Structure 1
């Protein structure tokens, strides 16, 4: 009897440790991912996103940076779980510096859905879908009636899982973690229609799929994230979790995806993030460190934005952040690749705002 009681208590403790206080799942080490199911939605987790950013070159010499992101956010209400679907789309015309972006927010249902069996998410007429036969992804999105994106994405390098034993740590708390799946290099073709002008484009994209129940813990106010696609065939992903006292959280990480797809993770004490220049938002006064130098393993890369104002001003969510297309400059002053840089939590306490939601 004592043996069974101890077993029951240990199982109860284990089950409790796997969920938040309000019953959402916490990422667990050793998870076995099953595809295409795990490309789809995970409603047992509070937060999930499918995040596509990329650089496109037009045949007429134009250049664009784009972002299309789908979010699912769950909340409890009178014992029921409600799922809200947020989506962001943005396009930068690098020739003119014009940056156009839009947000959408819908409850789950007719206007917004995310499949639990494969990659198929939609918010209004915006969509991201995986063709399981061709293994290609398709994006369709409009931006404020000025932009129409129709893009096909083909896998160049295999899917990678960031973190240790399938868990990407964001802080010391067990809840401050995610399952972080990434296609680090996607060959991208399609069309960009900007007002009356339609451009045939080709380039490369990066896609993150993360699901968790808490991306921030107490004391953290925001994060800096970058994804670099280097000409030498490697990719670099780095995130810095910033604390309220101005220090860097030890959970901050840099990962190198080698040419063969293998991933190496570097801890926060062996890479450096240096701010070279800032930009102040005329809309909310936030000052973003948009020019940075990343040092690791005896080398460094500078991120040089294609335009200063690539801020999404948080019209619906009131959570402004900077998400921008950049060139990667090496120590010899040459363009070594392309990147996207995300800076969140500079227009107020991001963690406090999220808790209030």
Structure 2
């Protein structure tokens, strides 16, 4: 274990990690909680919300190389608070960590970083936009024009992003309910980035282009104590429409779901529990776990009945908080590609 990982585990309380999946359980511990009818203020809300317990800036990208090979890219910055609020120096209760990954049809390369808030090692500023941890950066003059870089022992990437559409808000104008008990988050996305740059992999440098999707979400208690994990889909269809859908798996075997249909111009329609259905079709042995890597996804109101296949079924994020994350191909009633994240598979 490296020194930074050791410090992270010392500073990050075991009680938080044990509460729900990855510390996303029901006890808000005096933190602020999302309320209906939110009013977002930009660019301020692109930045951190230290009175809430958890938050992320979550970028995924579907990329194509010169020979048509599909690739996937992930960059995520997480903030997790030990207590509400902010302070200077080592008195800061904010803990930061980040994940970076590249997926090819044959490889999945992933790494992570850890930092304590208040000492300049990690954070987010909004004008101009600057999200960082160590030398990993997502930054630009504003949220529509960004550059991205990160590196691990076996890979690195250097990318430019340009937004070609508006922000979209999930749930009821950005108030995204996660359970029948009422747990919720504030949740919006920028799903219209065009991205291009260079992947540096063991086999050499690869110039890539594609589409990227950035999720912004914060809360203090987004899971109920009867939920064990989630399956999250971001799908981009030929023709320009997009679909975000997730299901949260209940301990009794049922699910709680929600979805957002996104038109090419950014117009959205939110769908409540039960409208979006994801059913596993095939599983794979992944890092000693049985993980669904082929799905049937349906949204009847939009005529969606598609098969979602992992580009690389072995896209396991073998990090301090393990989960599956990787690019997918879409076929059936709609054609396209996207990203799939699955948590809670033990």
* TM-score grouping bracket, smaller chain normalisation: 0.7 to 0.9
What is aligned with 1:230?
237
Match of 1:195 among 167, 191, 202: 202
User: Are the aligned partners of 1:35 and 1:118 in contact in 2 as well (CA < 8 Å)?
Assistant: no
> Comparing 293-302 with 218-227, which one deviates more in the overlay?
293-302
Whole-angstrom CA distance in 1 between matches of 2:28 and 2:200: 47
Q: How far apart are 1:270 and its partner, in Å? A: 2.6
SS at match of 2:274: helix
Whole-angstrom CA distance in 1 between matches of 2:304 and 2:126: 42
What is aligned with 1:255?
260
SS at match of 2:197: strand
Question: What are the Cα deviations for residues 279-336 of structure 1, in whole angstroms up to 9, with x where unaligned?
Answer: 1223xx321111101112243011111111000022xx2x3211011111124xxx71
Q: How far apart are 1:36 and its partner, in Å? A: 1.2
Higher relative contact order (CA 8 A, sep 6+): 2
Unaligned runs of 5+ in 2: 1-26
Q: How far apart are 1:165 and its partner, in Å? A: 3.7
What is aligned with 2:174?
166
User: Are the aligned partners of 1:304 and 1:328 in contact in 2 as well (CA < 8 Å)?
Assistant: yes
Q: How far apart are 1:64 and its partner, in Å? A: 1.4
2:74 is equivalent to residue 67 of structure 1: yes
Judged with a 3 Å threshold, the aligned counterparts in structure 2 of structure 1 residues 293 and 196 are, in CA distance, closer, same or farther, namely: closer
Normalised TM-score (structure 2): 0.85
Whole-angstrom CA distance in 1 between matches of 2:144 and 2:194: 12
Judged with a 3 Å threshold, the aligned counterparts in structure 2 of structure 1 residues 44 and 270 are, in CA distance, closer, same or farther, namely: same
What is aligned with 1:143?
152
What is aligned with 2:338?
339
Whole-angstrom CA distance in 2 between matches of 1:271 and 1:41: 30
| 1:287-306 equivalent positions in 2, closer than 5 A | 287-297=290-300, 298-306=303-311
What is aligned with 1:352?
none
User: Are the aligned partners of 1:39 and 1:118 in contact in 2 as well (CA < 8 Å)?
Assistant: no
SS at match of 1:38: helix
Question: What are the Cα deviations for residues 52-75 of structure 1, in whole angstroms up to 9, with x where unaligned?
Answer: 101111224443111010000001
Normalised TM-score (structure 1): 0.82
User: Are the aligned partners of 1:38 and 1:117 in contact in 2 as well (CA < 8 Å)?
Assistant: no
Whole-angstrom CA distance in 1 between matches of 2:163 and 2:250: 36
Whole-angstrom CA distance in 1 between matches of 2:151 and 2:62: 17
Unaligned runs of 5+ in 1: 1-19, 348-357
Match of 2:214 among 207, 232, 237: 207
Q: How far apart are 1:116 and its partner, in Å? A: 6.1
Whole-angstrom CA distance in 1 between matches of 2:304 and 2:48: 38
Whole-angstrom CA distance in 1 between matches of 2:92 and 2:32: 13
Q: How far apart are 1:196 and its partner, in Å? A: 6.2
Whole-angstrom CA distance in 1 between matches of 2:181 and 2:52: 16
What is aligned with 1:322?
324
Q: State the structure with more CA Rg.
A: 1
Q: How far apart are 1:258 and its partner, in Å? A: 1.1
Match of 1:107 among 86, 96, 116: 116
